[in-house]
Amino acid sequence: MNQMVSQGFVLADFLNRVGLSSKVVHLDPRQVFFSQGDAADSVFFLQRGRARVTAVSASGKEATLQLLQVGDFVGEEALASIAGHRLTTATAVTNCIALRIKRDEMIRIMHAEQAFSDYFFRYLLARSMRTQADLIDQLFNSSEKRLARVLLLMAEIVDSDQPETMIPKISQETLAEMIGTTRSRVSFFMNRFRKLGFIRYNGHISVRKSLLNVILHDHVSDGVSKTPKPGKTISPPPPRARVVE
């Protein structure tokens, strides 16, 4: 759920008028909001840019758990009854601006403002559903499908009326990290998507709705084009920050 307007409640307006004690942080690509093992002492609200949440195993294997966009919160584990340590790392994919809200301040506002509490509760439910979809994607889908899904999510194209959307500039290395494969595999799939007319790219990537065919029909996963079956529809689930006082 990344909508900043919900049933008449405009989150951006609320955060501006409620007197929330927070700090604005600016992050360049690859800078972190927080790292795995840090104290969970604050929640971030993403106002601009794209980010991702990852975790690293004891053996050093990294997995992308979530993609973040404008209107998302991250670090909500700080609101647990007993504050602990971060289990994940949140990293900027593009230039980001976010509000950093201290744990005690976030709890205070949730208790004082019913409208915000209701909004945040709905947000967490939507986040839980999206996390389940992300887990299914990682467990059962090929790297090609995962790449197609990431591009579609970044383009926010499924619910849009536009047949094609340009996404923020992102490197193939970053895409490879996000889906858990190599840069050469990403390059291979990107070239194939382009030849099939699913994307256009020349520095920036433009994603077309037809890319859904990869997710729906295994269109190119084994190197042989397959004929899509009609009638099926599906939507894919959806260095430190500089502090400005």
Q: Is residue 148 part of a domain?
A: yes
pLDDT at 232: 43
Residue 223: which pLDDT band, with cuts at 50, 70 and 90? very low
Per mean pLDDT, which range of 10-24, 27-41, 144-158, 217-231 is the poorest?
217-231
Q: Supply the pTM of this predicted model.
A: 0.71
Report the distance separating Cα 47 and Cα 28, nearest Å: 14
CATH code (residue 206): 1.10.10.10
Residue 240: which pLDDT band, with cuts at 50, 70 and 90? low
Strands 62-68 and 51-56: antiparallel
Q: Are residues 88 and 201 in the same domain?
A: no
pLDDT at 196: 93
Residue 10: which pLDDT band, with cuts at 50, 70 and 90? confident
Q: Are residues 9 and 128 in the same domain?
A: yes
245 token code pair: 């006082």
* Domain enclosing residue 65, as ranges: 5-138
The helix or strand, by DSSP H or E, that contains position 68, with its residue range, turns out to be strand 62-68
Q: 185 pLDDT exceeds 50? A: yes
Residue 41: which pLDDT band, with cuts at 50, 70 and 90? very high
Report the distance separating Cα 104 and Cα 74, nearest Å: 16
Q: Are residues 63 and 29 in the same domain?
A: yes
CATH code (residue 128): 2.60.120.10
Q: Are residues 111 and 168 in the same domain?
A: no
Q: Is residue 110 part of a domain?
A: yes
Q: Is residue 171 part of a domain?
A: yes
Report the distance separating Cα 153 and Cα 207, nearest Å: 10
